[in-house]
Structure 1
C-alpha cells in the first residue's frame, strides 16, 4: 500500500505523485528489478529538492476544495486495486489465475510465467501489481478532484513497478502483469465520466497490451512511438484499430538510432495533431502517458539515442496538449527504463539513465530549468564519459543493446552532467 502525495501547496500545485517499490517482486539478474524503484525515487527527489518543496502531504479523493484541504492535511490511505477495477480491462479468469499461482510461487520462490519477456512471478508479485494499478487510479482520482474544485489542475506521476503496457487482457507479457494505463483509462471513463481518453506511449517498446485493450474502441486513442522490429514485434504502421476503433490506434515504428529530432517531429506532426483532433469534441478528456524511459541511449534493451533532456521537452509538450484539450488532466505512469547506474560521478546516487530521465520530466512538470539550461549556465564544466552501449542477455533478447556509438569523452564533456551524450542527429 502506498499514498498519493502533493509536492506543493494548493495554490501553486503542479504535481501529485505516488510510488510503490514492488518490494519482493524481483528476480536476480533480471532488468525489471527492485533497483528500478530506488533509481526512480532518487530522480524524483532530486527534482523536488531543487524545487525546494520540503512539504509532502498525503491525499485522498475529496469532493470540493475544503475537503481537499482537509485530506491533504490529514492524509488518508487508499486501497490496492480491487478485482472489479482490474476487470475493467483484464478477464476474470486471468485475475483469479494469477492469485491461484501464489502457492506454487511460495514453493518455488521465483518462477517464469511467460517466456517472451521473460515475465517472472514471486509470492509478492500480485501485491506489487495490484498496488501499482491502485496507485495509478488513486492519482487519477486526485487530478479530477483538483480539477472539479476549480483550483489549478496538477499533473500526476506514478512511479511503480512492475510495468504494465505489454500485459494483454488475458495474460502477462514482457515483464508486465496488469496494465495500469489501460485500467486508468477505463476507470476515469466510468468513475469520472471522461468520455474520451488519449493514451500516449513513448516507451521504446510498443505497448501491445494497451493496443489490444482498445483495438475496437472509439473512445480511447492509443498512440505509440517506438523502435521498429524489436519486442514485442508488433506496432506496425498499418495497425490502426478495427471495427468502431479503426483509426484510434496510432503506431509509429521508428528506426534504431532515433534521436531527438525524429522523436519530436513524430510528436509535433503526427501524435499531437491526432490527439487534438480526437479530443476536439470531448466533453471531458483525460491524457495518460505510458512513460517508458528505455529510449535513453544507455538503456540495454533497445537502440534509441535519446537522453534525459528529451524527456523534459516531451513533458512540456504533454502538459501543453493536456492543458489545451483535456482541462489539464494528465497522468504519467512509469513503464520501462532499465539503466540504473551509469558509473558517472556526476550522477552517482541519482539512479542512472532512469533516475535522471525522471528528474528531467519532473523538472519540466514543476516549471524548473532543464538540465541543458543548467549546463549552459555553468559553462558545461563537468567531466564525464559516454560509455559504449553493450549488448547483454536482455539487450539481445529485445533486439537492442548494440546500437550505441562510442563517444569520445572529450567531445562528450559538454553533455556531461547525468551522462548526457551527443545525439546522432545533433552536430558537435
Structure 2
C-alpha cells in the first residue's frame, strides 16, 4: 500500500476511533460509584484500631458507664470549654432529658424551624409540650422574625437547630429570648465544632445537644449523643435521669424519675479515638465545600450554602452540603445514572407538612425550599478524584 493510501485509511478511521474513545469514557462514568455516604469504609479505614479498641475495652469488662465514658465527657468539656458534658444513648434523648430537666412540659410551647429533623419535635412532644415550626431565612436556618411572630403566652423556649454544620442567627435569637424571658435550647446535632465569633455551637443556651450517629462529623459505630451545659443543677438532673434516677453520690439510690439512656462504653472509647482525627476531618469537609463552591458558584440555577471563610464570624463544619436546583429531579437522576448518590434531607418532608402529627402551619418559604433542595456527598472519605468527578458531572448536566 502506498503512503498516500495508508494516510487516507488512517484518516477515515479516526472518527470511528474517536467514537470508541468517547463510548469508553462514558462507560467509565456509568460504572463509577460515589455513594452518598460510604458506611463500610467508615469502619475499614481504621479497622485495626477499632478491633484493638474493642478487644481492650471488652477484656476489661468495661461495658456500661466506665472510665472511657468519663474520659470522653472530659475531652468534650475541654474541647467546647463547658462545665458539664453528659453522654446519653442518642441526641433525641439528650434533647428530651434537657427539656425535662428545665421543667418544660404540658401546656408549654417550643419554637423551632420547620427545616429540622423530626427528632427535635418528638423530644418536645414527649415532654408534653407542643413544638411550633416556623419559617426559614435566606441561610436556610430558622428566621428570627418568624420566631418572634410565633411567640404566645405559652411559649417557654426557642430551639435553634443548627442544620448542616452552620450556626443559626444566634445573636438575634438570644435578643428575642431575653426580651420575652424565654429559654434558648440548642439542637446542635449536626454542628459539633461549628463556631460563631469563636464560640461553639451548643454553648449559647441553657444546654446544647450533639449526635454521634455514624455519618456525623464525629460519629461512632452506632447511636450516641451528648448534652452539654454550664448549669450545675440542670446537669445533675440529666445525670440522674440518664441512669434510672440513680444518684452516684448516694450509692446509686433512686432519687428521681429517670430512664435508661446511657452511651455504650465501647462507643465512648471509639469516639475518644476519633477525636484525634476530628480537626483533620473538619478541614477535609471544608476543602470539599471550597471545591464545590468554586465549581458551582457561576451556575445560576443552583443555590449554594455560604463558602468557607466567606464570613469571618462563622466557622462551618459542613456536616452536609445542601444545595437548591430548579431542575432538582432531573439533576439527581443525571447524577444517579453516573453513580453519584444524593438524598433529600428529612425524606423531603419538613415538620409542618407532617399534618398527621397535628401540624397545620402555612410556611410557603419552607415549602418552596423543599421543592428544590437536596444533598451532595459530603464527608472526609471522599477523595479528590471523587470530588472532581461530582463537580464535573454537575457541570456536564448544565452544559
Larger Rg: 2
Q: TM-score, normalised by structure 2?
A: 0.30
| Larger relative contact order, structure 1 or 2 (CA cutoff 8 Å, min sep 6) | 2
Q: TM-score, normalised by structure 1?
A: 0.28
